[in-house]
Structure 1
Amino acid sequence: MATPQSLPIQAVIFDWAGTLVDFGSLAPTQIFVDAFATFGIAITLEQARGPMGISKRPHIEMLLAEPGIQAQWQQQFGRPSTQHDVDAIYERFMPMQISKVGDYSQPIPGAVDTFAWLRAHGIRIGSCSGYPREVLDVLLPMAAQQGLVPDHVVAGDELTAGGRPGPFMALANVLALGVTDVRACIKVDDTAPGILEGRNAGMWTVGLSLSGNEVGFSPAELASADPAEVARRKAHAETHLHNAGAHVVIDTVADLPRIVTEIAGRMAGGERP
């Protein structure tokens, strides 16, 4: 089988929450629940997880458009929500997210070793996130202290072209990293919009089921959960990620080196994403 040395993958582009840090993608979901609660609107963690992967302001907009949440809003305020309300929730959300994101900055097991493996094979490391830059400015130094230092980072609010599921953040990494062929890149993400981002950019895509938003267990919750429930959630996540276009779905980033080698072999056989 071909190896990264004989048929190089030029770059791997990672998501952050649920992919590299924050097993279960808990930081953004809980803060959405808390931010809506300050307006007297009760949303569940499951509802908060629904649009995960896109940038945070459109995420709030999508939540407000959900019929049950919109009905609560109209009952609470006597009118439909507006763009000004989206702005107000976002302004409430942001300081809450900034203050809490550091609590969830622990690398997912295997992430640091995977970075080392990629660097040893001459593969560049990019990253992007639905988090705005203000949040990443808090998260990134904490992640760096624990060994996660990508070559480039793109935030969800800094491209005028937009965010996921568009290809723009992935392609901004391509430009910054000096990649010469998008077909030699792999996008790694735990959400459907993140997989679509990679597919729309013309890349290989790897979905992460167990560590991400789709399963939603913290490590402690995972350790104590009913195995049948874990299997049910993981199967649902795998189906959702495959349906979004993932070429491969694995449990966590710890499994990625094997998949990079596998994709290199597929490329050696003439396959392209």
Structure 2
Amino acid sequence: MNHLKRTEAVILDWAGTTVDFGSFAPTQIFVEAFKTAFNFDISIAEARVPMGLGKWQHIEALGKLPTVSQRWQEQFGREMDSDDINSIYQTFMPLQIAKVVEFAEPIQGVQEVIGWLRNNDIKIGSCSGYPRAVMESLIPAASVQGYHPDYTVATDDLPVGGRPGPWMALQNVIGLGVHHVAHCIKVDDSVPGITEGLNAGMWTIGLSVSGNEFGVTYSNYLTMSDDEVSERRKPAEDKLRAAGAHYVIDTLAQLPKVVEEINRRLKLGERP
């Protein structure tokens, strides 16, 4: 049967992968949420460190960063606890729901790649560190601008949780009716997203330029010299490779050639 010989589905992350070049929507809101809830300052760089986790878990991880933890204890005389995380999360949610629609434009090349995938009968799944309430704003906003995957799982859709566990990726397998997990490709710009794909038994592709690790806007990226791009790409690529990514490319625009390479390997009987 044909599905035994080729890629059946590609499961895509959202921010930094298909929309929101540089993954700015969540990072800016984390900074705002900490400031609004507790008049506490975190940097954009700190906000980026746990990217890819569910947003409650992201806030929890931020509180455990040595720099943040030290400042928190200096300001409040204690460690951050679950009540603090809940307060920041409750502040974060309405801010993120309002903001995410401003970052719904597909990244350059995404629409062409989606068309290529559909022409090759490859199903298009997706999952995100965003909770469902945020996705309910993002999905229609992205759809209006031309991007709509076949299936989407949000980080709070499943009782077992989100990344780095395999569950959102595997729910896509079920929702899309995929026959073989080993014929799926997980594409993500974050380490937890790569780990998610590996834990699910999928091929994984990291994105080193469009996402959180590279961390610049598309307009800024266009003004960078080749040397500047290379200098910024290398640590992002190294981090994704160290996480176990089978391939690392700059942006989703380069996906078709990797799918063809994975198809060649599948025909030889190789598995992730």
Partner of 1:16: 14
C-alpha separation between the residues in 2 aligned to 1:7 and 1:117? Answer: 18
Distance 2:24 2:78 in 1: 31
CA distance in 1, matches of 2:11, 2:270: 20
Match of 2:33 among 15, 21, 35: 35
Distance 1:252 1:28 in 2: 19
The one-letter code sitting in structure 2 at the alignment partner of 1:8 is R
Equivalent-residue separation in structure 2 for 1:200 and 1:5 (angstroms) = 22
Identity among equivalent pairs (%): 54
SS in 2 for 1:205: strand
| Structure 1 Cα separation of the partners of residues 222 and 9 of structure 2 | 33
Deviation of residue 8 (structure 1)?
Answer: 2.4
> Residue in 2 aligned with 1:258?
257
- Structure 2 gaps of 5+ residues are none
How far 1:175 moved relative to its partner?
0.6
Q: Displacement, 1:120?
A: 0.8
Moved more, 35-44 or 144-153: 35-44
Partner of 2:141: 142
RMSD: 1.4
Deviation, 1:71, is 2.2
Residue 203 of structure 1 corresponds to which residue in structure 2? 202
Mapped contact 1:183–1:202 kept (Cα < 8 A): yes
Aligned-pair CA distance for 1:35: 1.1
Contact 2:3 2:179 in 1 (8 A): no
Letter in 2 for 1:135: V
- Cα deviations by residue, 1:128-157 (Å, 9 ceiling, x for unpaired): 000001111001001111221111100011
Give the match's secondary structure for 1:153: strand
Instruction: Work out the CA distance in 2 between the residues paired with 1:225 and 1:212.
Output: 16
| Aligned residue type for 1:21 | V
In structure 1, how many angstroms separate the alpha carbons of the residues matched to 2:30 and 2:51?
Answer: 11
Distance in 2, matches of 1:246 and 1:233, equals: 18
CA shift for structure 1 position 83:
0.4
Taking the aligned partners of 1:270 and 1:233, their CA distance within structure 2 comes to 36
Q: How many residues align?
A: 270
What are the superposed Cα offsets for residues 26-55 of structure 1, whole Å, 9 maximum, x if unpaired?
A: 100111111112222211111111000010
1:192–1:240: 8 Å Cα contact kept in structure 2? yes
Asked if the contact 2:54/2:131 (under 8 Å) is kept, the reply is: yes
Equivalent residue number for residue 115 of structure 2:
116
| Contact preservation (8 Å) 1:5, 1:121 | no
SS at match of 2:7: coil
**Secondary structure of 2:153 counterpart:** coil
Alignment of 1:89-238 (within 5 A): 89-238=88-237
TM-score scaled to structure 1, two decimals? 0.95
User: 4+ residue stretches of structure 1 with deviation over 6 A?
Assistant: none
Q: Name the structure 1 match of 2:239.
A: 240
